[in-house]
Amino acid sequence: MTRELSRPKRKNPILRTRLATLPPGARSRVALGLTAAAARGAFELQVCRDCQAVQYPPREACQACLSSRLPWRVQAGDGELIADTTLAHSNDLFFRERVPWRLGYVRLDCGPTVVVHMHGDVPPAPARVKVGARLDKSGQAVLIAFPSQEVPNMADDRQLREFTCDPKFRKVLVTDGKTGIGQAIVKAIIAAGADLVWVGHAEPWKKFPGFDELKAIPQVSLMPLDLTDSKSVREIAAEIGGRVDVLINTAEVHRNFGIGNRRGVEIAQAEMDVNYFGLLRLAQEFGPALRGRAADGQSNAVAWVNILSVYALANFPPHGTFSASKAAAHSLAQCLRAEMRPAGIRVINVFPGPIDHEWNQQIPPPKVTPQALATAIVRALKDGVEDVYPGDVAQEWLERWRDNPKALERELSNP
C-alpha cells in the first residue's frame, strides 16, 4: 500500500543540489501521436480504419492489414498484467538515480501488449490493471499501469510522482491574487496541500475585494508584484525565485475591443504588456530559478502554469486584441516549454472558455467559474498534463478547431 506522503525534511544546505536528468526522449513523428493525446490527459492508440486492429507501438502501417489509415482513438486502458520485473541497475542516468523501478507488460483488452511503468500498488502478475498515458520528465508519453481500483494515497506513489506535479507540500507563486480567478486558485491549491502560497498584487493602493480574506489564510504571503514592471518581477524573483516549486501566472488584462470599435493602441498595449510581456518578464526571471531546482528532493520545482484563453487558438473579434495577446502568449509559452523541458519542468497551458468575470459580463452562459478553473488547474497538476481546456465552450471550440481551424475562424467572426 502506498504510504501517505509526509512533509519533507528541510534540505541539508551543505550538499550540492542535484541537477535534473531526463528519461530517453527521442520519439518518431508517428509516436508523438501518443504524446499529443497524453498532453491533454488522454490515452489514445491508433486504430485501423480498415480492419479495426488496435496498434502498438505506434506505426505507419497497420500490423494486420498494412493499411495506412490509422487514426488515434481514445482507449479505456483495461488489461491484464502478464509479466513484471524490477529494474535494479541502469546505465541511463535518469533511471540509475531512481532504481529500483518496476516495469511490466500489459495485454490490453483491446488487443495489443504494451510496456508499462508500474504504480506501486499493482500486485505481481497476473493481475487486472488500468493503463493510462502520462508525460514523463522528457515531456514524452509513457504508459503506466494503475491498480484496477482506486487505492488510498494513490497519487503519493514514488514512481507515479515522477510523472505528476502534485502541489502537496509544495510552494506556489500565484502572480495575481486580486481577481476572483487568482483567489479561487489560491484556495484550491491550499486545499490540495500546498505548503506556502505567495500571492502577487499589483498597484497595492487599490485594495481589492477578498483582500482581507486572502490575508487571513495562514499559508498565504501577499507581495507586491506587477508584471508590467521589470524591476518588480526581477526583485520578487530574486527574493523567492529559489523557493518556488509551482508558478501559476494568473495576471491578465482583458478588454472587449476589436480593431474598429476603439481608437488607438493603448488598450492593446496594456493587454500585451501583461498577457505577453508579463509572461516574458516572468519567464526570464523565474525560469532559471525553477530549472535550477528541478531535482531538488521531494518538493522540487515541477511546473509552470499559464492561463491563456481558448481565444488563443482562433480570434474572437469582439475581444479581438485580447485574443491576439493570448495568441502571442501561447506562442511564447511554447518557447518556454521548450526551454523548461531540458530540466523536466512541465509547462501547463490552460485555455479556458469565457470566464465568469466583469469583462465577460455580456457574454451569455455557459461561462467558466473561477472555482471550476481552479479545480481544472489542480487536476492538471496532479495528472501532469500540458494542455487543459476547461469549460463547455472551450471543449466545443477545441473540437471544432481540431476538426477545421478555418471553419472555426468563420464561425467566431459571425456571432
Question: 347-386: which residues touch another protein (CB under 8 A)?
Answer: none
Our finding on whether 284 is near another protein (CB under 8 A) is no
Output the smallest distance, CB 63 to another protein, in A. Answer: 54
Return d(Cα 389, Cα 407) in angstroms, integer.
19
User: 133 pairs with which residues across the strands?
Assistant: 143
Residue placing its CB nearer to another protein in the complex, 9 or 231: 231
Our finding on whether 207 is near another protein (CB under 8 A) is yes
Output the smallest distance, CB 7 to another protein, in A. Answer: 35
Q: Of the listed pieces 197-205, 334-342, 381-389, 392-400, which binds another protein according to CB under 8 A?
A: 197-205
Our finding on whether 271 is near another protein (CB under 8 A) is no
Residue placing its CB nearer to another protein in the complex, 192 or 233: 233
Site size toward another protein (CB under 8 A) is 15
Q: Which of 8, 25, 120, 204 forms a contact with another protein (CB under 8 A)?
A: 204
Output the smallest distance, CB 206 to another protein, in A. Answer: 6
Our finding on whether 9 is near another protein (CB under 8 A) is no
Output the smallest distance, CB 231 to another protein, in A. Answer: 5
Q: Which of 9, 16, 89, 231 forms a contact with another protein (CB under 8 A)?
A: 231
Our finding on whether 332 is near another protein (CB under 8 A) is no
Instruction: Tell the burial category of 332 from Cβ atoms under 10 Å away from its Cβ (0-12, 13-18, 19+).
Output: middle
Our finding on whether 29 is near another protein (CB under 8 A) is no
- Find, among 94, 141, 137, 38, the residue nearest to 341 by Cα: 137
Output the smallest distance, CB 266 to another protein, in A. Answer: 6
CA angle 245, 304, 301 (to 5 degrees): 25
Cis peptide before 224 (omega within 30 of 0): no
Element spanning 84, H or E? strand 78-87
Return d(Cα 275, Cα 241) in angstroms, integer.
20
Q: Which of 17, 63, 113, 228 forms a contact with another protein (CB under 8 A)?
A: 228
Return d(Cα 411, Cα 311) in angstroms, integer.
13
User: Is there a contact between 380 and 189 (Cβ–Cβ < 8 Å)?
Assistant: no
Q: Which of 4, 97, 266, 399 forms a contact with another protein (CB under 8 A)?
A: 266
Return d(Cα 230, Cα 209) in angstroms, integer.
26
Residue placing its CB nearer to another protein in the complex, 231 or 406: 231
Beta strands in 282-386 (DSSP E): 303-307, 346-350
Output the smallest distance, CB 312 to another protein, in A. Answer: 22
User: Is there a contact between 80 and 129 (Cβ–Cβ < 8 Å)?
Assistant: yes
Residue placing its CB nearer to another protein in the complex, 148 or 228: 228
Residue type at 168? Answer: K
Output the smallest distance, CB 255 to another protein, in A. Answer: 8
Instruction: Tell the burial category of 59 from Cβ atoms under 10 Å away from its Cβ (0-12, 13-18, 19+).
Output: middle
Our finding on whether 92 is near another protein (CB under 8 A) is no
User: Is there a contact between 144 and 131 (Cβ–Cβ < 8 Å)?
Assistant: yes
* Nine-digit cell string for 27: 520519439
- CA–centroid distance for 260 within its chain: 36
- CA–centroid distance for 398 within its chain: 17
* Nine-digit cell string for 140: 514524452
Output the smallest distance, CB 355 to another protein, in A. Answer: 16
Q: Which of 9, 89, 205, 216 forms a contact with another protein (CB under 8 A)?
A: 205
Q: Which of 270, 289, 295, 332 forms a contact with another protein (CB under 8 A)?
A: 270
User: Is there a contact between 392 and 353 (Cβ–Cβ < 8 Å)?
Assistant: yes
Our finding on whether 260 is near another protein (CB under 8 A) is no
Q: Which of 121, 229, 339, 387 forms a contact with another protein (CB under 8 A)?
A: 229
User: 44 pairs with which residues across the strands?
Assistant: 74
Our finding on whether 285 is near another protein (CB under 8 A) is no
Our finding on whether 239 is near another protein (CB under 8 A) is no
> Where on the chain is the footprint of another protein (CB under 8 A)?
203-207, 226, 228-232, 264, 266-267, 270
